[in-house]
């Protein structure tokens, strides 16, 4: 057992900015997190681990992803040159595979054979089930009961991949409740189980682990742009749910002060309405899901219901490093509404022939606003976090077109 003093100290581990991050979790998970942290530190210099990671990223996930020059968008918008980092071309259709490959290898290194994960719309659950199938591990996915009803196709997909899906019936039966249920499950069974955190959130070291595995996005983008343009971008834009694709897109540019970093949050019906998910713009400091960060909450510290047309962005909090980057003004965070995101969904399809995820289209919508105001010799890299096939039916519905019965 640790003394109260040691516990206070251990909360200082993994602090971002003045005080975001930390480890606000039950004592039972403390030792487990320490083991995870130790394995994580080791894996960075473990040659066998790095070789396996590299092999899976290339031969399974289809990396490196393209850095595509969006000629039509650039011409149409008439300002900065636009490059798209194509995470939509990865196996399973989004950036999430980068993270689950890394964490599944970490779980193996720790001797675990059972993966558990939370999922909202099902994207992270599908990615986790995918990697579990590949590596011959068990996977159990916790999903709010409401979400299991809304996303029946993804529930079936996870089961097809061999996962067991647990509908969570506590709280409002959505993503935040699924995270709580997964943390609880991990606390009660950690001997053989690893929690694959789905975004750059949760208690330390998860925000650092997820950033590390997603940093491949900006590592590649920086090299690819160097090759094509022989310079740094002027701006990097990515959408922010919990913040994993954004922190991965920012990571290798944070120390380049000339590169502007922009995170795009889902404003839903508008940042000034209560149907929003713009955590950094509208939220306040709090402690939830094992971390201190910014959350959408009421005056009593109750986590608010969040809303966005994009299921992948409606998380009531944000990763602690984003809260810190916002606080120190190293990155800027802006809100994009449902309407603007849907317009961008249609725009990028027609201009570039790319059906991009509605989450990613929040970033595209911001690029549409900012690119015309920039000079033609300036460069924007915009991360397309995922493909939009999953969104076609709901966008049609948003436009009043009924395509399924
Ligand atoms: C899950 C998801 C997101 C949001 O998650 P982050 O951790 O903020 O990256 C964004 N885009 C797509 C396509 C997703 O599947």
| Catalytic residue check, 146 | no
Same domain, 34 and 142: yes
* Residue numbers of the domain that contains 257: 62-94+214-398
CATH of the domain at 114: 3.40.50.1100
Ligand 1, atom 3, residue with closest C-alpha: 312
What is the predicted pLDDT for the residue at 402? 87
Atom of ligand 1 nearest to the CA of 245: 9
321-363 pLDDT, tens per residue? 999 999 999 999 999 999 999 999 999 999 999 999 999 999 9
Residue 7 lies in a domain: no
Tokens of 87: 């995470």
Beta carbons within 8 Å of 38's beta carbon, 6+ residues apart: none
Catalytic residue among 32, 87, 118, 352: 118
What is the predicted pLDDT for the residue at 12? 64
Same domain, 72 and 85: yes
| Catalytic residue check, 394 | no
**Last residue in a domain, options 163, 191, 210:** 210
Residue 2 lies in a domain: no
Atom of ligand 1 nearest to the CA of 386: 13
Q: Which segments of the chain have a pLDDT < 70?
A: 1-12, 405
CA of 110 to the centre of ligand 1 (A): 27
Tokens of 146: 């409401």
Residue 328 · residue 257 · CB < 8 Å: no
As a whole-number percent, the residues of the chain with pLDDT over 70 amount to 97
What is the predicted pLDDT for the residue at 311? 86
Residue 144 lies in a domain: yes
Ligand 1, atom 2, residue with closest C-alpha: 312
Atom of ligand 1 nearest to the CA of 199: 7
Same domain, 156 and 294: no
Contacts by 149-156, CB closer than 8 A, 24 or more apart: 150/121, 150/311, 151/121, 151/122, 151/311, 153/122, 154/119, 154/121, 154/122, 154/123, 154/125, 154/126, 155/122
Ligand 1, atom 1, residue with closest C-alpha: 312
Same domain, 223 and 292: yes
Beta carbons within 8 Å of 221's beta carbon, 6+ residues apart: 67, 83, 85, 233, 236, 249, 252, 381, 383
What is the predicted pLDDT for the residue at 314? 86
Which of 241, 388, 391 has most ligand 1 atoms within 8 Å of its beta carbon, as the pocket-test mutant? Answer: 241
What is the predicted pLDDT for the residue at 301? 87
Asked if the bond preceding 384 is cis, omega within 30° of 0, the reply is no
Atom of ligand 1 nearest to the CA of 210: 7
| Catalytic residue check, 118 | yes
Who lines ligand 1 at CB under 6 A?
A: 94, 96, 123, 199, 239-246, 312-313, 357, 359-360, 385-386
Residue 118 · residue 198 · CB < 8 Å: yes
CA of 214 to the centre of ligand 1 (A): 11
**Last residue in a domain, options 210, 242, 266:** 210
Catalytic residue among 96, 112, 176, 390: 96
**Last residue in a domain, options 210, 235, 257:** 210
Backbone φ/ψ region at 75: left (φ over 0), alpha (ψ -120 to 50), beta? alpha
Atom of ligand 1 nearest to the CA of 201: 7
CA of 5 to the centre of ligand 1 (A): 38
Same domain, 72 and 130: no
């Amino acid at each position: 057992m640790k003394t109260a003093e040691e516990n206070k100290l251990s909360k200082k581990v993994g602090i971002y900015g003045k005080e975001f991050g930390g480890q606000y979790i039950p004592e039972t998970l403390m030792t487990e997190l320490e083991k995870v942290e130790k394995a994580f530190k080791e894996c960075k210099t473990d040659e066998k681990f790095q070789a396996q990671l590299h092999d899976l990223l290339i031969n399974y996930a289809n990396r490196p992803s393209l850095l595509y020059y969006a000629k039509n968008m650039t011409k149409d918008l008439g300002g900065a040159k636009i490059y798209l980092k194509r995470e939509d071309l990865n196996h399973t259709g989004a950036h999430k595979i980068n993270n689950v490959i890394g964490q599944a290898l970490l779980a193996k290194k720790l001797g675990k054979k059972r993966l558990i994960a939370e999922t909202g719309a099902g994207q992270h659950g599908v990615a986790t089930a995918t990697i579990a199938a590949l590596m011959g591990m068990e996977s159990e996915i916790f999903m709010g009961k409401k979400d299991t009803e809304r996303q029946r196709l993804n529930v079936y997909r996870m089961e097809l991949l061999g996962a067991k899906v647990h509908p969570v019936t506590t709280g409002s039966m959505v993503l935040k409740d699924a995270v709580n249920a997964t943390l609880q499950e991990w606390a009660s069974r950690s001997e053989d189980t690893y929690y694959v955190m789905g975004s750059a959130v949760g208690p330390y070291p998860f925000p650092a682990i997820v950033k590390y595995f997603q940093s491949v996005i900006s590592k590649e983008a920086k090299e690819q742009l160097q090759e094509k343009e022989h310079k740094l971008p002027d701006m990097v834009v990515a959408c922010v749910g919990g913040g994993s694709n954004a922190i991965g897109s920012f990571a290798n540019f944070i120390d380049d002060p000339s590169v502007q970093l922009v995170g795009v949050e889902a404003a839903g019906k508008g940042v000034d309405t209560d149907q929003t998910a713009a955590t950094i713009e509208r939220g306040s400091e709090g402690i939830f899901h094992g971390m201190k960060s910014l959350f959408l909450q009421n005056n009593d510290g109750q986590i608010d219901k969040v809303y966005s047309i994009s299921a992948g962005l409606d998380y009531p909090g944000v990763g602690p490093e984003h809260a810190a980057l916002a606080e120190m003004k190293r990155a800027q965070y802006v809100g994009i509404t449902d309407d603007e995101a849907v317009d961008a969904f249609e725009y990028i399809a027609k201009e570039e022939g790319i059906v991009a995820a509605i989450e990613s289209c929040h970033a595209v919508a911001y690029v549409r606003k900012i690119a015309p105001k920039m000079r033609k010799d300036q460069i924007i890299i915009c991360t397309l976090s995922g493909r939009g096939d999953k969104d076609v039916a709901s966008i049609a519905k948003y436009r009043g077109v009924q395509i399924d019965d």
